[in-house]
Amino acid sequence: MDTPSPPPTPSTTTTNTTPPLPHQLKTYTLTACSLSYTKPTTTTTSSTPSLLTSLTTLLFKPCTSPPPTYILRDVSLVAHPSQILAIVGPSGAGKSTLLDILAASTAPSSGSLLLNSLPFHPSSFRKLSAYVPQHDASLPLLTVHETFSFTARLLLPNTSHQPHTHHHNNHIVTSLLTDLNLLHLANVRLGCGLSGGERRRVSIGLSLLHDPAVLLLDEPTSGLDSGSALNVMQTIRSVCASRGRTVVLSIHQPSFKILSTIDSVLLLSKGRVVHHGTITSLEAYLICNGFTVPPQLNPLEYAMEILNQLVMINNKESISNTNITTTDLISRDRCGSDSRTRDRDNVTYKSTRVHEIVTLYNRFWKIIYRTRQLLLTNTIEALVVGLVLGTIYIHVGFDKQGIEKRFGFFAFTLTFLLSSTTETLPIFINERPILLRETSSGVYRLSSHLIANTLVFLPYLLVIALIYSLSVYFLVGLCLTWQAFAYFVLVIWVIVLMANSFVLLLSSIAPNYVAGTSLVTVFLGAFFLFSGYFISQDSMPKYWLFMHYFSMYKYALDSFLINEYSCLYSKCLVWFNEENKECMVTGADVLVKKGLDEKQRWTNVYILIGFFVFYRVLCLVVLIRRASRSKR
């Protein structure tokens, strides 16, 4: 029998930089019971099978399905509070897959996970835990210090027992950056100037700032030099011991110093458990099977060298008789309990909604301000297109040609405004994994993110609307009253806001930028087709009439026409006989011909605002659905 030894107490100079919490900290024991994960085999050799191959497979199914490929097989483990469990094994042993399952991001083929001997809900567990994968996304335009500061503001809000919260948060951030050897990189942006190992330390630091009850890390020392790796492990050890946190990590052949920070190991080979217990029990297991650990190696390094021989021993002998550790017995006892109650801790957000919105608003503004290419592109585009369009349609006049030119000018304006907002599509798509990770882990609410995003783009797009309106309105010679100009700016503003919401919705649906661009092109083309510009409402087939009312172009185009020709309501535009003062077409006639009424002036604006709100709400629903299934 292997007896777990008490957790080591390595000497470390690392200070506890995690935020202070109430005195009674709830701890969690994570138990895995007979986990297996299979990957079904496929007969198709190509990674992208053709349509013919798919149809053939569907029509002519084989009589017998091929046996599944086991990535993990009958893996059981227990991770205790205040202890670090290291998952060790060669490449392809199933370490990352096991971590994915433990993080509740991948469902096992069989087996179960328990938290304090109770089944748990994955979404609740993700708010209690933190998972740091090997490759983690981050906001590239923020500096290291700003990234930590914004997260600290959200996770460590102002409370009654912390009167100097801002100074307190800065102290925590500075101390944590010092422990992770990142202080000299505090003002470096994440998108440039950081190595892979430094980015890894940023991800680990953010997870420590979150102070999770269960911390899972995939290769936290990968890409680090020995000193940095030891520093990271000592920081994790300090948090684990002082905060009573449960830590599970994967690691490749740790050095003796790093091994002293680890309490127990899970040695895997080809998805099977070779040993689960302390280093002392591993050494005893090796001696029991006739192996002697060389003095220049630690027991784990030696076990990795003779791993194939250990696997052969386990295959020849019954695991239940030869390699039952005390931890295994505890695991089986926990797994055998018939507990039907799910552990549904009521995990609440640490900040109020208003505090979240203010913090995210400030973060958004920093990102927008530093996206100089987007700022310059939108500003110059609005100014240049406005001036070019104004010089093309300069003083269009009020005759028959003037009516047609105005109609064409309004249609082109809509096309330009709605298509120009697609520039934000890659930004939204790149930020989506970060948004899903932060919201699924309970850093802030999805609705707070969406409200902050809206509040940032309201003034930003108002400036764009003003630049375009001032550069084109008076050159074209539209209605020269301040009411008409103000209404024109308002409609332009609402149009770009609506288009921004539409792009935001598509960015939440599209899997990548290419698919998102295709969706934008298809939908905008369809909306323009059914706007009434190419074919009137009366001429449309009845079965396509619904698309006319769903078109964003329709209500915006109607708003422009009503605004312009309400100003020219009594003005004669086309004379039948100018000498006899016989008028053929007035501004009122143009509105009647288009089926419009001056009373619809504000109705169209309300509908456009409704589209703006509808697309935002629909985007929120899609993101909530994605966050509930978020992998990380």
Element (H, E) at 250: strand 246-250
Burial of 384 (0-12, 13-18, 19+ CB in 10 A): exposed
Confidence of residue 587 (pLDDT cuts 50, 70, 90): confident
Q: State whether 364 and 239 are in the same domain.
A: no
Residues 107 and 255 occupy one common structural domain:
yes
Q: Could you tell me the pLDDT band of residue 595, with boundaries at 50, 70 and 90?
A: confident
Whether residues 287 and 389 fall in one domain = no
Looking at the structure, tell me whether residues 468 and 539 fall in a common domain.
yes
pLDDT recorded at residue 338? 46
**Region of poorest pLDDT, from 150-164, 516-530, 580-594:** 150-164
In a domain, 49, yes or no: no
- Rounded to 5 degrees, φ, ψ at 424 are -85, -5
Selection from 22, 12, 444 nearest residue 243 by Cα: 22
Instruction: Please write the tens of the pLDDT for every residue from 252-299.
Output: 778 888 888 899 999 998 888 888 998 889 888 888 888 888 888 888
Phi-psi region of 120 (alpha: psi -120 to 50; beta: other; left: phi over 0): beta
Q: Look at residue 20 in the predicted model and tell me its pLDDT.
A: 42
Inside any domain, residue 313:
yes
Per-residue confidence (pLDDT) for residue 62, from 0 to 100? 57
Number of domains within the chain: 2
Domain of residue 571: give its range: 353-628
Contacts of 118 (CB under 8 A, 6+ apart): 339, 341, 342, 343
Decide if 203 is inside a domain: yes
pLDDT value for 501: 92
Q: Is residue 566 part of a domain?
A: yes
The residue to which tokens 């994440």 are assigned: 190
Whether residues 212 and 357 share a domain: the answer is no
Q: What is the mean pLDDT of residues 310-331?
A: 55
pLDDT at 96 (0 to 100) = 87
Average pLDDT score over residue span 469-476: 92
Predicted confidence at residue 333, as pLDDT, reads 52
Q: Name the band, by pLDDT with cuts 50, 70 and 90, for residue 65.
A: low
Are both 295 and 197 inside the same structural domain?
yes
Q: Given this model, what pLDDT does residue 629 score?
A: 66
Q: Looking at residue 57, what is its pLDDT?
A: 53
Determine which of 18-32, 225-239, 343-357, 549-563 has the lowest per-residue pLDDT on average: 18-32
Give the pLDDT confidence score for residue 299 in this predicted structure: 86
Indicate if the pLDDT at residue 326 is higher than 60.
no
**Distance between CA 119 and CA 128 in Å, rounded?**
14
Over residues 423-438, the mean pLDDT reads 84
What is the tens place of the pLDDT at every residue in 113-153? 999 888 888 877 877 888 888 776 788 888 999 999 998 88
Give φ, ψ of 190 to 5 degrees: -65, -25
Looking at residue 455, what is its pLDDT?
94
- Angle between the N-to-C axes of helices 446-476 and 601-628, in degrees from 0 to 180, rounded to the nearest 10: 150
**Strand partners of residue 574:** 585
| 434-456 pLDDT tens trace | 888 888 878 888 999 999 999 99
Mark whether 328 and 384 lie in a shared domain.
no
Task: Give pLDDT tens digits for 16-52.
Answer: 444 443 344 688 899 998 889 887 554 444 444 444 5
**Average pLDDT rounded to a whole number, residues 182-202:** 84
pLDDT at position 358: 92
Percent of the chain residues past pLDDT 90, beyond the cut? 20
pLDDT at 613 over 90: yes
Q: Which CATH number is 223's domain given?
A: 3.40.50.300
Nearest to 457 by CA among 378, 554, 356, 351: 378
pLDDT of 576 higher than 80: no
pLDDT at residue number 495: 93
- State which of 303, 336, 369 marks the end of a domain: 336
Residue pair 498/431 in contact (Cβ under 8 Å)? The answer is no
Does the residue 472 lie in any domain? yes
Within 10 A of 164 (CB to CB), how many other CB atoms are there? 10
Classify residue 365: in a domain, yes or no: yes
Q: Are 328 and 404 members of one domain?
A: no
Is residue 159 over pLDDT 70?
no
Mean pLDDT taken over the chain: 80
DSSP 307-340: HHHHHHHHHHS-HHHH--BHHHHHHHHHHHS---
Task: Place 511 in a pLDDT band, splitting at 50, 70 and 90.
Answer: confident
Q: What phi and psi, each to the nearest 5 degrees, are found at residue 55?
A: -65, -40
Average pLDDT over residues 99-119: 87
Q: Is the dihedral of CA 236, 237, 241, 245 positive or negative?
A: positive
Predicted pLDDT at 43: 43
Q: At which of 336, 367, 394 does a domain end?
A: 336
Q: Beta strand pairing status for 69-79 and 30-39?
A: antiparallel
Average pLDDT (374-389) is 89
**Position 406 confidence tier, pLDDT thresholds 50, 70, 90:** confident
Residue among 123, 124, 118 at smallest CA distance from 29: 118
Residue 341 scores a pLDDT above 60: no
Statement to judge: residues 525 and 395 lie in one domain? yes
For residues 519 and 319, the model is more confident at 519
Question: Would 431 be classed as within a structural domain?
Answer: yes
pLDDT: which is higher, 316 or 171? 171
Question: Any long-range contacts for 583-587 (C-beta under 8 Å, 24+ apart)?
Answer: 585/400, 585/403
Residues 375 and 228 in one domain: no
Looking at per-residue pLDDT, the higher value among 505 and 228 belongs to 505
- pTM metric for this prediction: 0.77
Same domain? For 272 and 322 the reply is yes
pLDDT at 2 over 60: no
Q: Could you tell me if residue 219 is inside a domain?
A: yes
Q: How confident is the model at residue 425 (pLDDT cuts 50, 70, 90)?
A: confident
DSSP 68-119: PEEEEEEEEEEE-TT-EEEEE--TTSSHHHHHHHHTTSS--SEEEEEETTB-
Single out the residue in 336, 361, 392 at which a domain terminates. Answer: 336
Nearest Cα neighbor of 112 from 163, 145, 76 is 76
DSSP-assigned letter for residue 345:
-
Task: Please tell me which residue, 279 or 338, carries the higher pLDDT value.
Answer: 279
Mean per-residue pLDDT, 344-354: 70
Question: Does the structure show a pLDDT above 60 at 620?
Answer: yes
Give residue 15's pLDDT band: very low, low, confident or very high (50, 70, 90). Answer: very low
Give the range among 76-85, 177-186, 600-609 with minimum mean pLDDT. 177-186
Residues 487 and 524 both lie in one domain = yes
Q: What is the pLDDT of residue 87?
A: 92
